[in-house]
Structure 1
Amino acid sequence: MSNPASPRYLALDVFRGLTLALMIIVNTPGGENSYAPLEHALWHGFTLTDLVFPSFLFVVGAAMSLSMKKFEAHSEAYFLKRVLKRGALIFLCGYLLYWFPFFTPDFTLAPFAHTRVMGVLQRIGLCYVFAALIVRYSGLRGAAVFSVIALTGYWWLLASFGDYTLSGNAVLKLDLALLGAPHLYHGEGIAFDPEGILSTLPSIVNVLAGYGAAVWLRQKRPLTQLAMAGAACLLLAYGWDALLPMNKKLWTSSFVVCTVGWDLIILAVLSAVIDKAGLRSGTYFFEVFGKNTLFIYVLADVAVIVLARLHVGGDMLYRWLYQTLFLSWSSPYNASLLFAVAYMLACWLVAYVMDRRKIYIKL
């Protein structure tokens, strides 16, 4: 589907593209050895990698500010149809990614019974829908009230119905009750989904924060105040951490406030340098990613699955490429990073061709 890109702040496109580039890098290391900033915190804690997904939600909210403005001229039925359809399609894309390639090696249909239900795109779809509804019917003031209630309420739920451990938390208990272990992520050693149903509640706040920040930019309000709000969030988050540890996999309330703080500061800096000072050198690289974010994200995931399914000399093509092109002459840590960067650049080439041809995939 070819559509001209909507007018927008360049800083937002750059922020979106930067987030996608980093997400691809941290998701596709060549081997098991990665530098510490490119690894998620094992449980409690915070790393650069832990900022990537919340930033993705933040820029979803920022982009939503443009579509919500357009919805003002349409009826409630039109608004609800578009928002619910978009959210459902994003959720479905995420679900199909986990079911892909749909068939087992002996060409029988892959069973639904063992397909993960929740995930990254599923969370994005759900958060987008709820954030859009909140903004539409209660405005920024309602979004702020919801954020306070959601973050404090989620803290209460975690403390009241479990603990902050991997096996005893309330997120896991609800997912097991509603979805069952076969439909959860198993990469933590047990059935536990870091994009669980309950932890989706506080993640809506990340989207609402992005929406509020974009409205702030559109109103031409001081960027210094945006950065100061980010600094205040960081102070609150690190103080709160003593009572409720920052934890990306539980998406704790302190984690939300911390990531919102960093995103506000990053956006303020990018806006000052790009939109205010007029710096354009090097921005096109990230702008390209920012124009087809969802499509490139899906493409990157699908390509990894394909590379893992194809074999060369009895080994996965993914591993063969890593070992042959990078590990053969570099240390494990550098080889892993170089493979990830090369993979990201390959995805960028696709985005570049699409941009040159004015192809923008929208849901």
Structure 2
Amino acid sequence: MSTTASSRNLALDVFRGLTLALMIVVNTPGGEASYAPLEHAVWHGFTLTDLVFPSFLFVVGGAMCLSMKKFEGRDEAYFLRTVAKRGGLIFLLGYLLYWFPFFTPEFTLSPIAATRIMGVLQRIGLCYFCAALIVRYGGLRGALAFSVAALLGYWWLLYQFGDYTLTGNAVLKLDLALLGAPHMYHGEGVAFDPEGILSTLPSIVNVLAGYAAALWLQRRGRTPRALLALVAAGVACLLLAIGWDGLLPINKKIWTSSFVACTVGWDLLILAALVWLIDIAGLRFGLYFFEVFGKNTLFIYLLADVMVIVLARVQVGGVMLYRWLYQTLFLSWAEPLPASLLFALAYMLACWLVAYLMDLRKIYIKL
């Protein structure tokens, strides 16, 4: 890692920061209850929260389009070493996050045998690495060909080797065979990983879509005509997702191909709107808030998760400090739903303050 500032695309920074802010809010409710848009769909279906992770992958692709220029003229060994190191480090950080705090309350080493292997950062690392290879050796045409083959092939795999239920899908079967239940997520009541091995395949398409969108703007310029094309592509993806949903349900947890079409559609529309507001209309008011998040996204992501773990471990009067803060500062005077949201917003603002102080000191953590 380094602490040197880098030149960034403002619209992508704002998009990345907006996504991070929403992620922190949906991940840190004070209580059990949350407003419906701030919850994932129980199984089939789509909510605002379901758009968060795909948007991270989309902006990874957008940033990759900008960073791939530095590989021009460099040999293959340098390229492979760089992207493998970056993808591997992101994967490792995700794994260590699930292993944290590394020791049990009795100060013995936490067993690796029970540590989850796949996860959000792990998927980002894998998708970045695979997308970089596809773009490097296949270009835009290769990315398009891979995307079509991956989405259709994944649909065939889901249909051929299982169904679309929680306990019968092919994603679960492969993860159980390769990872084993102790290394999987158990938040669904059974061993099932929403960031599983097989479902990583279609998620690469989200990264490639971000790359293609950024490349389009790079080549065509930030003009109304170029943005209109992005809007048309976004609407087409949404219509495809709606039509496909009847055969292959939109489902974030097994990352169905229709889910990819749906999320890419929304991300294209959001990117087009941000570019229009920022680069054409000249909007600047309020953008700095999200720009700050967008400059140190990985560090703040890790900080937000680590602090939740710490607050859950520390006890105050026999109650988790996390829960004590919520009950004392918010639930004591507000109804459960708004209290839960206000706690999440306060936690997000605390993370933002850290990002703001880092920006003031020109500290930018990157891999």
- The alignment's TM-score, normalised by the length of structure 1, stands at 0.99
- Paired with 1:2 and 1:171, the residues of 2 have a C-alpha distance of 39
Q: State yes or no: 1:300 paired with 2:272.
A: no
Spell out the pairing of 1:154-169 with structure 2 (5 A cutoff): 154-169=154-169
> Following superposition of structure 1 onto structure 2, how do residues 40-189 of structure 1 map, counting pairs within 5 Å?
40-189=40-189
1:252 to 243, 256, 259: 256
* Residue identity in the other structure for 2:96: L
1:38 corresponding residue in structure 2: 38
CA distance in 1 between counterparts of 2:220 and 2:153 reads 33
CA displacement at 1:9 relative to structure 2: 2.5
- Counterpart position of 2:11: 11
**Whole-Å separation in 2 of the counterparts to 1:176 and 1:208:** 28
Contact 1:9 1:275 in 2 (8 A): no
Q: Is the 8 A contact 1:26 1:340 kept in 2?
A: yes
Gaps of 5+ in 2: none
Q: Which runs of 4+ in 1 moved over 3 A?
A: none
Cα separation, 1, equivalents of 2:358 and 2:280? 28
Partner Cα separation in structure 1 for residue 216 and residue 206 of structure 2: 15
Residue equivalent to 1:341: 345
What is the SS of the residue equivalent to 2:220? coil
Q: CA deviation at 1:4?
A: 1.7
1:73 Cα shift? 2.8
Give the Å deviation of 1:220: 3.0
Distance, in Å, in 1 between the alignment partners of 2:100 and 2:123 is 18
SS for the counterpart of 1:31 is: coil
Contact 1:274 1:280 in 2 (8 A): yes
User: Any stretches of 5+ residues in structure 1 without a counterpart?
Assistant: none
CA displacement 1:76-96 (0-9 Å, x = unmatched): 111100100000000000000
Count of aligned pairs: 362
Alpha-carbon distance in structure 2 between the residues aligned to 1:190 and 1:247 = 17
Compute the displacement of 1:211 (Å): 0.6
Q: Are 1:320 and 2:321 matched, yes or no?
A: no
Distance 1:59 1:159 in 2: 30
For the 8 Å contact 1:95–1:119, the answer to whether it is kept is yes
Hey, what does 2:286 align to over in structure 1? 282
Give, in angstroms, the shift of residue 216 of structure 1: 1.1
1:199 corresponding residue in structure 2: 199
SS of residue matched to 1:219: helix
Aligned partner of 1:232 among 216, 230, 236: 236
* Aligned-pair CA distance for 1:69: 1.1
CA distance in 2, matches of 1:2, 1:114: 34
* Alpha-carbon distance between aligned partners in 1 of 2:116 and 2:335, rounded to the nearest angstrom: 35
Distance 2:95 2:140 in 1: 31
Identity of matched residues, %:
80
Counterparts of 1:288 and 1:206, CA distance in 2: 24
Instruction: Report the AA paired with residue 201 of structure 2.
Output: L
CA distance in 1, matches of 2:216, 2:17: 21
Query: What is the rounded CA distance, in whole Å, between the counterparts of 2:92 and 2:147 in structure 1?
Result: 26
Query: Does 71-80 or 302-311 show the bigger shift?
Result: 71-80
In the aligned structure 1, how far is the partner of 2:344 from the partner of 2:213? 31
